[in-house]
Structures are given as C-alpha cells and as structure tokens.
Amino acid sequence: MTKIPSGWSRRNFLRGALATGTLVLPGSSVLIGCATSGGGQEQTEGKVSDDNPLAVPVDQPIEIYIFKGGFGDDYATQIHEPMYKKRYPKAEIKHKAEVDIAGALQSRFVAGNPPDFVNDSGDGVIPLGQLVDDKQLYDLTDLLDAPSWDDPNVKVRDTMIPAAIEEGTFGQTPYVLNMAMTIYGLWYNKTLFDKNSWAPPTTWAEMTELCKEIKAAGIAPWTYPGVHARYMTWPLLTMAAKLAGEQVLIDIDNLKENAWKHEALKESAAALAGLKTSGYILEGTEGMDHIQAQGAWSAGKAAFVPCGSWLESEQSDATPKEGFEFAYLPEPALSEDGALPKETLRAAPGEPYIVPAAAKNPRGGLEYMRIMLSKEGAQGFTKELSSLTVVKGAADGLELSPGLVSAQEALGKADDNVINWRYQTWYATMWNPGINAHMGDLLAGRTKVDEFLDACEGEAKKVRDDDSITKYER
C-alpha cells in the first residue's frame, strides 16, 4: 500500500522554515527573514506590460518539475516550455522529470528552496492540504485575474470551467491549478463486447448477470490496482451517491459523524465485496499495481477496470493496435429508482500544478500556468495526452481518440448530474493510507462490510478530533 511520504508534518515544515530564517507570505513577493545559502530565496519581479501582465522577470531562469507518470513530460518540453521560451528568450528553462515528486522535493521545501513550478502528482504526491496548512503555496489569484493569453479582454478565470477553480481553492484562496478534466468510471474493450454481444450494464443487477457470462467465456469480469485500492473507492462512492443523493458525499467531505455508515455506502460496499466472493475478480489482482492491472485488462484477461480518462494515454504503448477500442461506462446504479439518474458520473479537474510560495521566480510559475491555460497550450495538452482540459472549448474541432470520445459523450448525457468529492485533497492521511487501505482489506476478503465502514468512520474521526488539522466544508 502506498504511504504518505515521511516528514510531511506541519511541525517539520515550520521547523525547516524557522531553521532557515524564512517565512513566506503566499501570493506575494515578500520574504520574511533574510535569504541565506541554506534555504530562503530572493524573489524577483519584472515590469508589468501588455505582453507581461504578471510582471515576469524576463531574464530570470525558471525551474520546472514535471511528474513523469502516465502523462510523461513531452507535453511540457514540446508544447508549454517552447511557448514560454518564445515569449521570454533570455530566460533559461531548467526542466526536470521525476517519478517521485515528494522524494525529489521534500528536502527543498523544508529548506525554503523549492523550484518555481511543480506538477504535484503520482504515488509520491506531496499532500496539498498539508502544503496549504504550512503556507508553502503561492496564491494564484493574480493569475486568475490576469488577462488571458489569447484575449486581453478576458480574464484567465473566465476561460476555465468554474469547477477547476473551486477544486484548487482552499478556504477562500486558490492555490492549485488542476489542468486535466478527468472523467472517472469503468472501462471496457468495445471490440470484445461487440464480438460477444455483451451490452454495457446500467444497473448492478445487469452487471452481475453479465459477469456470469463473461466468466463463462473464460475471462475475469473485473480487475483493479490491488496495491492502490483507492481506484475502487471511486465506484464505491459514485454508486452510493447515485442511490441516495450527493448529500452522502457532502457529509463525508464535511466530516459529519457517522457519514461513512450511511446505508447507501453499506449497499455499495456489499456490491463491490460481492465481486470477490463470486469469483469475478482476476486472480492475482490484490498484488497488482496500476500498470499490471491495466496491462492484464489490455491483454484481454479482464473485462472491466476502474480508472480515470487518462487510461487511454497511459496504456497507449501496452494496448493491442488491432481488435481493441477503448470505451467508457459510468458505474452501474444499485437501484432502478435511485436518487440520481443512471447517467450520473464523477468528473473532476485533476492533475495538480502548483507554484511554491518560496519559489525564486513565482511570477514565472504563474506565467507558465497562463500559457498552459491558453488555447494553444490546452489543445496541445489534449492532443499529446488524449485528455480533456479545464479550458472552455479547447477541444472543439479536435479529432479525439475513441476512449475520450466515449467519455465525453457520457459526460454530455450526464448533463448536470456530475459529482465529485474533496476529502482526499483536504485530508491526505484520511485518504491514503486510511480509507484506501481499508478498501483493499474489504476487496481481499480480510474484513466484512460493517468492519470496513467502521474503519472508514474511524479515519474520519481521527481528522475530526485533531485540532491541528485545518477543516474545510462545502
């Protein structure tokens, strides 16, 4: 089970800041304390102009860290960084791709010497809520209120879907840019389903009947990343919300007492646990990471895999070129008459990018984000990664991949019935290893449904009772 990197406690961050004599006011260029060779950095700004509304120091280097996971880093080196270099030819771009962002940058954050721009993603993610609590992130308000790259009469915030700004806001302050518009659900090979005349299920009753057929055909109905069981919390919560309404998710986010013991969550957990007891999960799944589980699915060993809409990009090199077509399916409804329509799905801005508060060139970091949010930057992101973005209309006219078309069509059918939750962003340890570890135990048959829900409620109680943790509500 993936663990939160050691050392990311509030005390450790503050201890590191005090030791170096640096405390930074997020969203400003003011450095409290003096810059030293052991940590703090002098922050510089350029002159405001029509071409430079964010006062980027035009001849200062910018240091960029990109998570090299399913998205790779070509989108940065081939699209966004060249755009920055064209606008600021005197600025040196220091690019670094890392698999373990926390491992690479933990000591630098503590020392007050972080890079200027970070793609904070992957299993080595730095907990965003902790970074916010420790005042380690730069306020993005200036970016959102700046003129957009394409039209000086339109603010950056008005080019984005509102949910993107909401997702990156803690309290009243925006700290995180989530660039990818991710659609979550189940994925299947349409070619395989068409060949066997299997209809994608819309209810759990249909799912269980189809699983019987799939198993009889010699294929495991389901697989999932057993090492990262959080992938299965997505259908758990989505199906519960479809059954009882979005308030179930709001109560979880707001740490309401006994929120995890709601009857809808019990039914959802029982349905997923039943996949194990019915023999519908691919043998060995419990020990697989996401690459292994998705690889087994791509190889036709399993019919369904839960994932976000980055799957097609992540599996591009591992999926057969013939006889395979990515297709998306919202999680089936537990009941024909649930509180939300069957078309309801989870979609959320994801793939977070941040500008550290103690960055030497934070204005350059903001400008890099402004470039990403341009039409050219967003379309390049979609073309390169087969991922929708949070920029309004950026995908219009683009030729999208089959899986992305499938997911986008489902998003259209869902209309306003799009759900999401925030606890995993707000409360990192509650999410991982907390709830995720308990999900793994449930699906492996090590715990029963009631024990699972009690354990999840226990994780929420730890956060609820800890006065050192900042609480958020929606």
* Cβ neighbours of residue 183 closer than 8 Å, sequence gap 6 or more: 308, 309, 328, 345, 346, 347, 388, 407, 408, 410, 411
pLDDT at 41: 64
| Radius of gyration for the alpha carbons in the chain, expressed in angstroms and rounded | 23
pLDDT at 199: 98
In the three-class reduction of DSSP (H, G, I as helix; E, B as strand; rest coil), residue 275 is classed as helix
In the three-class reduction of DSSP (H, G, I as helix; E, B as strand; rest coil), residue 353 is classed as strand
Q: For the chain, how many residues are written?
A: 474
Taking the chain (474 residues) in runs of 10, the rounded mean pLDDT of each run is 34 36 35 32 84 97 94 96 98 97 96 97 91 96 98 97 94 96 97 98 98 98 97 98 98 98 98 98 97 97 96 90 96 97 96 97 98 98 92 92 94 94 93 96 98 98 96 93
Is the CB of residue 249 less than 8 Å from the CB of residue 419? yes
pLDDT at 20: 35
pLDDT at 166: 93
CB atoms within 10 A of CB 38: 12
What single letter denotes the amino acid at residue 12?
N
Whole-prediction pTM: 0.82
Structure tokens at 226: 């057993």
Structure tokens at 277: 């007891």
pLDDT at 123: 83
pLDDT at 99: 95
CB atoms within 10 A of CB 432: 22
Cα–Cα distance, 396 to 371 (Å, whole number): 18
Element (H, E) at 188: strand 177-189
Cα–Cα distance, 269 to 240 (Å, whole number): 9
In terms of Cβ atoms closer than 10 Å to its own Cβ (0-12, 13-18, 19+), residue 470 is: middle
Structure tokens at 278: 């019915």
Structure tokens at 296: 């087994």
The domains located in the chain, with CATH, are 31-179+352-400 (3.40.190.10), 182-347+422-465 (3.40.190.10)
